Structure 1
Amino acid sequence: MNVQRSRGAANSKESQESLQSTLDLIGGKWKGVLLYHLISGTKRFNEIRRLCPEITQRMLTLQLRDLERSGLVHRKVYPQAPRKVEYSLTEWGRGLEAAILSIKSWGEAYREEFGKAHPQLPGYQAPSPAAEPACKTDTNIPG
């Protein structure tokens, strides 16, 4: 796999701080996955739960609130009973779309090539036709 590296700015303190703050915003087990699923469009809370059945309701709520506070996700509450809440990406969240899809693509290539050669690595699980994914892939997303 060909990896390109930028020159010069990569060692500057500002670049490192920018990278760290971005990773802080989207880091953790679920934030990247949630952003990935919102790329394809607005989703209701339970729709996100169905896409990611392994996340608890409490954790999903906390992660969505954190993404909302960070300005990456917009939460719209409709004044009706039962309550209807929808989540979508903000413009800042949309700015991460290419990065998230690129990370997804890199992960697929890594798992396919490097993971097979090193199955003892943490996080690698050999593909099994009967196994359900931890988070279902939304097929409406390009890439």
Structure 2
Amino acid sequence: MTDTALTILHNPVLSDAQCAGIAALYRAVGWGSPGTAQEIRELYEFSSYTLLALDGEQVIGLLRAESETAQTTWLAEIAVLPGFQSRGVGHLLMTRFLADHPQRTLYTDATEGVEEFFVRHGIALRRPRVPGPRKAGA
């Protein structure tokens, strides 16, 4: 991290700057065009559970989930900016998510190549897996 404190926001009302940060994170991890600020705001507003990880004011990580039933929650997405990966941000987001969803069945559509992260945290993998982002020249 930097000299500023890492902040985790739970179900925040997104500012324009946070929407821009989410869009930048989506692009940085290869998730393509995230849509307009209003579309991002609506996606997060209508999701049942969201977390944003901020380093100062910069969005460096996110987690979004949907409650499907009283017992089942789908982990829709978790991502960390490449420059902040392998620093515990994803683990921190997942730890908070797990603590907030005790005794629930949790699953995800894991991206190929990161299945171990979800298995390590006890998240069931639904098949088929989602293909990972394409590498340049692939």
Tell me which interval the TM-score lies in, with the shorter structure as reference length. under 0.3
Decide which structure has greater strand share: 2
Query: Looking at CA atoms only, which structure, 1 or 2, has the larger radius of gyration?
Result: 1
Normalising to structure 2: TM-score of the pair? Answer: 0.28
- Higher relative contact order (CA closer than 8 Å, sequence separation 6+): 1
Decide which structure has greater helix share: 1
